[in-house]
């Protein structure tokens, strides 16, 4: 077993499975490569032939709007052939195992798998299987696994922060909400700490905070009014009801009263603070529409930058 299963023996990225353990240089290289795909107008993403002749398989075993679509757009802008496996209509429903599905798609000359799965660790399992069976040339990109990691969301969040705030080493960043069930929070925390953000705060009720947060290098707040004071960046999280076992909160309305981002609470942050959200948003639960649609929100630019960031990741992995 190599020390980091996503790096090859030369320290190059072979798979993107998690941000945890990736060196700062690798993260910065991905962000810089993404910047090279965004044209001067800032909205247009250039088409390039980096993955011409390569096949990218999108395997989304869990629902997605943003990630699946932007991976598809990104692969097409890299000139790859893109295959979106319709999981509901696939032989998974007849009991075919994940690794049998992978073997069959690899037999169709797959070059890259983009995998979203409700089970934490599923993309690691696929990468290990490919290595153990001598097919390590096939790349795996984690598009979100359970509550574990969502590395391309973490990277597009870093791209967005760098775009608006320029220097990671001068920032206070707050992540607010259901941290316990959030793969985005985990990926963001690893990226922010690695990129040198001096103060990363997490804010939420005790029932939605993981136990090891301080060890990850963050400050924990249960009072949102204290936690938001003077921050430069606010990352809001959705309540991930699909991953909750039992009632962890009195009600969505109570949650909004205690932790919803309202204009009054936003005013506690720096006047030029940006508001981010990975989506999907639940308006009136974690965020007020006046904030979500307000001038400080950069939620839709996050989605746009996701295309360039996913191009960068796939181009670095699969480009010759």
Interface residues toward ligand CP, by CB under 6 A: 64-67, 144, 153, 278-280
Burial tier of 109 (Cβ tally within 10 Å: 0-12, 13-18, 19+) = exposed
Instruction: Decide whether 79 or 84 has the Cβ nearer to ligand CP.
Output: 84
Q: Which residue has the tokens 């990736």?
A: 22
Least distance between ligand CP and beta carbon 73 (Å):
13
> Looking at beta carbons only, is 172 or 183 nearer to ligand CP?
183
Rounded distance between C-alpha atoms, residue 174 and residue 193, angstroms? 12
Min CB(58)–ligand CP separation in Å: 11
C-alpha distance from residue 125 to each of 112, 194, 314 (Å): 15, 25, 19
CB of 241 to ligand CP, least distance (A): 14
Task: Provide the 8-state DSSP code for 257.
Answer: H
Q: How far is the CB of 272 from ligand CP (least distance, A)?
A: 24
CA 126 – CA 7 distance, rounded (Å): 15
Pick between residue 130 and residue 141 the one whose CB is nearest to ligand CP.
141
d(CA 74, CA 159): 16
Closer Cβ to ligand CP, 151 or 227, answer by number: 151
CA 194 → CA 82, 155, 200, 217, distances in Å? 32, 12, 11, 10
- The nearer residue to ligand CP, 146 or 279, going by C-beta atoms, is 279
Please count the CA atoms within 13 angstroms of the CA of 140 that sit on its side-chain side: 31
Q: In angstroms, what is the minimal distance from the CB of 153 to ligand CP?
A: 5
Residue number with CB closer to ligand CP (16 or 130): 16
Nearer to ligand CP, 55 or 153 (CB): 153
- The distance of closest approach from Cβ of residue 238 to ligand CP in the complex, given in angstroms and rounded to an integer, is 9
E strand or H helix that includes residue 174: strand 172-176
The Cα–Cα gap between 65 and 118 comes to 15
- Least separation in angstroms between residue 116's CB and ligand CP is 7
């Amino acid at each position: 077993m190599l020390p980091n299963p996503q790096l090859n023996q030369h320290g190059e990225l072979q798979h993107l499975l998690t941000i945890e353990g990736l060196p700062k240089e690798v993260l910065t290289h991905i962000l810089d490569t993404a910047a090279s795909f965004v044209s001067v107008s800032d909205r247009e993403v250039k088409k390039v032939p980096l993955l011409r002749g390569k096949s990218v398989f999108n395997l989304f075993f869990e629902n997605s709007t943003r990630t699946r679509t932007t991976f598809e757009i990104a692969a097409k802008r890299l000139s790859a052939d893109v295959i979106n496996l319709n999981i509901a209509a696939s032989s998974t429903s007849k009991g075919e195992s994940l690794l049998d599905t992978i073997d069959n798609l690899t037999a169709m000359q797959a070059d890259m798998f983009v995998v979203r799965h409700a089970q934490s660790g599923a993309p690691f399992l696929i990468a290990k299987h490919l290595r153990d069976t001598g097919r390590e040339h096939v790349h795996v990109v984690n598009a979100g696994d359970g509550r574990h990691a969502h590395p391309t969301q973490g990277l597009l969040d870093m791209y967005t922060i760098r775009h608006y705030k320029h220097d990671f080493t001068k920032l206070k960043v707050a992540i607010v909400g259901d941290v316990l069930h959030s793969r985005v929070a985990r990926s963001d925390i690893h990226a922010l700490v690695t990129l040198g953000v001096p103060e990363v705060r997490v804010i939420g009720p005790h029932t939605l905070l993981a136990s090891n947060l301080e060890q990850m290098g963050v400050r924990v707040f249960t009072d949102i009014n204290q936690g938001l004071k003077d921050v430069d960046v606010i990352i809001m999280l959705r309540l991930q009801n699909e991953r909750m076992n039992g009632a962890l909160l009195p009600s969505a309305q109570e949650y909004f009263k205690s932790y919803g981002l309202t204009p009054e609470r936003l005013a506690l942050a720096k006047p030029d603070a940006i508001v981010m959200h990975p989506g999907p948003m639940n308006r009136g639960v974690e965020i007020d529409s006046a904030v979500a649609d307000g001038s400080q929100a950069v939620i839709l630019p996050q989605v746009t930058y996701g295309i360039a960031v996913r191009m960068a990741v796939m181009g670095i992995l699969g480009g010759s």
